Amino acid sequence: MSIEDKRSVVGIYRHPDAWMDACRAVRARGVKGLEGWAPFPVHGMDDALGIKRSFIGRPVLAALIIGAVLGFFMQYWMMKVDWPLIIGGKPFNSWPQYVVITFEAGILCGALTNFMLALGTSNLRPQLHNQLWRDDLGDDAFAVAVPLLSANPGEAELRQMLAVTGAEEIEIYDTSADTLAGLSRAERQQPIVAAPQGEQTHG
């Protein structure tokens, strides 16, 4: 997959339902590298844009379990091996008192792992230029951008495709940075699965 043009054909919508329906319709045509912008999170937008579930949950769970185990054995070593004390006649290894610290150690390790992975994979590092290429994208506009990749239809066909989906405005924008970053995402984009005959999908 290569870039023929550093521009993208962008359709602007004013309602989230129309925007997500358009994303699904465009993806159903086999378009690659689809990108979407919304002024606020919309339930189901990940599925509409073909974004797979994040991998972060598994390493975070692993870090949480490891942190909890280490927290438990840290207390065991302190209370039974390093500095054993008889407290209220209880045995040295009185494990019920370890529950709180065990829980907190696991949460701490999981939260730190989540933060570092999210920061590293979301490209949220400070940048000199992070201005949106259209001001109302942070206000009331929903946008879907289709990069002019060799695997995608031409500009005229893309304009017609977006017009059929009800786009209120169709423009050409230079989104080269997002297009370049989106090439790997295009490879991972989930395809639309056709519903069996007699069944309808609802957004």
The H or E element spanning position 84 is none
Q: What are phi and psi of 132, to 5 degrees?
A: -65, 145
Question: How do strand 3-13 and strand 169-174 relate by DSSP bridges?
Answer: antiparallel
Domains of the chain: 3-53+135-188 (3.30.70), 57-121 (no CATH)
**Number of Cα atoms under 13 Å in the Cβ half of residue 10:** 21
- What local confidence, expressed as pLDDT, does residue 186 receive? 45
pTM: 0.58
Q: Name the DSSP letter for residue 154.
A: -
18: confidence class by pLDDT, cuts 50, 70, 90: confident
Q: What is the pLDDT of residues 144-199, one digit of tens each?
A: 888 877 777 777 888 888 888 888 888 877 655 444 344 444 444 444 444 444 44
pLDDT score recorded for residue 65? 97
